[in-house]
């Protein structure tokens, strides 16, 4: 929700807690972004293969595209999480089962699902539905759960991922200073395999002089590739008229032993500042072995652009209207494209194809992209 704030000052805490810190390094790779370019990148240019899966539509497997939260594809299964449901389909799209249910008992989520992580080695799902984090196996069996309560005026789960036998969870927390002042912070929580918190550290803290709430619509801030964990934390607040921060959050980090080390930065003209105002608001940066991807607002809230940089050819593509699926001949542009957080060498998106003889809207088709290397 957009709120109007008057910004007096901000303080950046450089990862102080538990001896965590940001390590500054020279010669940081800078990736140029031409914000004046408007090019729709054909998916055939970056995709080695695209797998299409049509999830079966039954009374128990109706997918609401407005509520899709997270998607996993692990060869044998397509797993789709909504705010209150988790569906499991086989690789042919046949509905297999749902996992978990709303309720008050053990293994039930009393409130809506905020995020989901997948342990692909042990084939388990971790569901954050506060005040609990619940673990299930892919057969739908309840395994264990733990209480998770954040002491804050307001908090959001911005992302979570299961990496190296640990669950890493990022929150955006609003803390009351007094009746009119708050500070917002990103906090990382690390859980061991038994769902016990083993570490907590503050990533960034920013002060505001009016109370309000803002939530980024994007996730995928924690990804890993070849045992390297990458982390991006976006703006804590976005408002084109009254930006709370005049510093562009343009850096992707890697996480090593509780320290964030700059990996690369996106280079925008004038660092995204025009006439003293920030006109670029980055929502996401992530990368795999060959490509760097980003999503950002330009000029005003909701004016989304997508960016793709090919490290092999050293070419960047800036897109206002999204990608072009020239493989499956989808007419409209592809804007809801995400990395598989268990494998950033793959992306996914979905699209609903309605035929003239359809009596009801079918489930969307999910497309899994295997990227070129």
pLDDT of residue 34: 94
Query: Does residue 16 lie in a domain region?
Result: no
Which residue shows structure tokens 């899966």? 53
User: Is the pTM higher than 0.75?
Assistant: yes
Distance CA 189, CA 166 (A): 10
- pLDDT tens digits, residue range 126-175? 999 999 999 999 999 999 999 999 988 888 898 999 998 899 999 988 88
Provide mean pLDDT across the span 366-372.
Answer: 97
Residues 1-14: tens digit of each pLDDT: 333 333 332 333 33
Rounded-to-integer distance, Cα 133 and Cα 166, Å: 13
Nearest to 133 by CA among 168, 89, 98: 168
Range of the domain at 48: 28-371
Q: Is 288 a member of any domain?
A: yes
Section 325-334 average pLDDT = 92
User: Is residue 203, in this structure, part of any structural domain at all?
Assistant: yes
Domain-embedded: residue 1: no
d(CA 118, CA 220): 13
| 101 domain-assigned | yes
CATH code of the domain covering residue 256: 2.120.10.30
15 within a domain of the structure (yes/no):
no
In DSSP terms, 255 is beta-bridged to 229, 260
Task: Decide: 115 and 148 in contact? Cβ < 8 Å.
Answer: no
Identify the CA nearest to 323 among candidates 347, 342, 340, 301: 347
If one counts the domains in the chain, the total is: 1
Contact between 338 and 371 (Cβ < 8 Å): no
Tens digit of pLDDT for each residue in 274-290?
Answer: 877 788 888 899 999 99
Q: Is residue 329 part of a domain?
A: yes
What is the average per-residue pLDDT within 288-309? 88
DSSP 147-200: E----SSEEEEEEEEEETTEEEEEEEEEEESSSS-EEEEEEEEEE-TTS-EEEE
Band (307; pLDDT cuts 50, 70, 90): very high
What is the torsion angle, in degrees rounded to the nearest 10, for the CA atoms of residue 140, residue 141, residue 145 and residue 149?
20
Tell whether the torsion through CA atoms of 240, 254, 122 and 120 is positive or negative: positive
Span 212-257, pLDDT tens digits:
555 555 578 999 887 889 999 887 655 544 555 677 889 999 988 7
From CA 88, how far away is CA 175, in angstroms rounded? 38
**Taking the chain, what is the end-to-end CA distance rounded to the nearest angstrom?**
39
Mean of per-residue pLDDT scores for the chain: 85
């Amino acid at each position: 929700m957009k709120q109007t704030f008057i910004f007096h000052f901000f303080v950046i805490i450089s990862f102080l807690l538990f001896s965590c810190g940001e390590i500054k390094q020279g010669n940081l790779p800078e990736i140029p972004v031409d914000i004046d370019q408007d090019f729709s990148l054909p998916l055939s240019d970056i995709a080695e293969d695209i797998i299409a899966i049509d999830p079966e539509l039954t009374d128990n497997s109706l997918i609401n595209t407005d509520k899709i939260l997270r998607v996993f594809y692990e060869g044998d299964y397509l797993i789709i999480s909504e705010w209150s449901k988790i569906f499991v389909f086989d690789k042919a799209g046949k509905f297999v089962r749902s996992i978990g249910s709303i309720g008050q008992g053990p293994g039930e989520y009393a409130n809506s699902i905020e995020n989901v992580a997948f342990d692909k080695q042990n084939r388990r799902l971790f569901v954050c539905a506060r005040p609990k984090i619940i673990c299930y196996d892919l057969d739908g069996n309840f395994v264990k759960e733990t209480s998770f309560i954040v002491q804050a005026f307001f908090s959001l789960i911005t992302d979570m991922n299961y990496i190296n036998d640990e669950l890493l969870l990022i929150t955006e927390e609003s803390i009351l200073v007094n009746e009119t002042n708050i500070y917002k912070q990103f906090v990382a929580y690390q859980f061991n395999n038994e769902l016990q918190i083993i570490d907590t550290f503050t990533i960034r803290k920013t002060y505001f002089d009016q109370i309000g709430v803002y939530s980024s619509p994007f996730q995928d801030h924690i990804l890993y590739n070849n045992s390297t964990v990458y982390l991006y934390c976006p703006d804590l607040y976005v408002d084109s008229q009254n930006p709370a921060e005049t510093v562009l959050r343009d850096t992707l980090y890697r996480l090593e032993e509780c320290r964030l080390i700059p990996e690369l930065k996106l280079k925008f003209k004038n660092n995204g500042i025009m006439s003293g105002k920030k006109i670029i608001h980055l929502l996401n940066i992530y990368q795999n072995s060959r490509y760097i991807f980003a999503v950002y607002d330009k000029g005003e809230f909701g004016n989304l652009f997508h960016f793709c940089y090919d490290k092999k050819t050293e070419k960047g593509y800036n897109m206002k209207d999204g990608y072009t699926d020239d493989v499956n001949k989808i007419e409209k542009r592809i804007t809801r494209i995400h990395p598989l957080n268990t494998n950033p060498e793959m992306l996914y998106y979905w699209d609903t194809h309605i035929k003239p003889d359809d009596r009801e809207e079918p489930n969307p088709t999910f497309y899994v992209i295997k990227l070129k290397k």
